[in-house]
Amino acid sequence: MITEDDEKKLRDKIRKSLDQLEDKDPSLLGTGERPAEDPERASHLEKIVADETDKYFEEKGLKKHISSSGRVYWLTPEEEQGWERHHVHRRKKKKKTRHSLTRKEILFYVFFFLSALIIIIVLFRTTVI
C-alpha cells in the first residue's frame, strides 16, 4: 500500500495535471506514474486517479457518461440532453426498421393473393360467358 503522504502528493499531482488539461481531451489524462509492481498498489493508485478525476469534473459541473463501448465522456447538462435525445431518436429509428417476414405473414399474403386471383378468374369467366 502507499502512505498517506504519498497519496496526498499523488492527489495534488493529479489535480495539477487536470488543471493543465482543462481545455483538452480528458482521455489524455495521466499521472506520469509508472505501473506499480504490486497489484494492490496499482489498483489503489487507479482508484485514487479515478476518484480525483470524478471530483474534478463534478466540481466543474460536468456529468459522467459512459458509452456502450466503455469510453468515458464528461458532458455539460446541455450536451447530456442532446445525447439523450440522440439515443431516444436512435431507439425509435431501430423500431421502425423492416424485419423479415414470419411464416404467418407469408401464409397470410399467399392466401390473400390466391383469394384475389380466384375472385378475378371467377369474375372474368362470368362476364365473358
3-state helix, strand, coil in the chain (%, to 5): 65, 5, 25
Check pLDDT > 90 for residue 36: no
Residues with Cβ within 8 Å of 41's Cβ and at least 6 positions away in sequence, in order, are 1, 2
Q: Cα(43)–Cα(109) distance, rounded to whole angstroms?
A: 61
Locus of grid cell 498498489: 41
Give the dihedral sign, CA 103/109/115/120.
negative
pLDDT in tens, 41-73: 778 888 888 888 888 888 888 888 888 788 888
pLDDT in tens, 79-107: 888 877 777 766 666 565 566 788 898 99
Query: Packing angle between helix 4-20 and helix 39-59, nearest 10 degrees?
Result: 50
E-assigned strand segments in 11-58: none
Check pLDDT > 70 for residue 31: no
The band of 110, judged by pLDDT with boundaries at 50, 70 and 90, is: very high
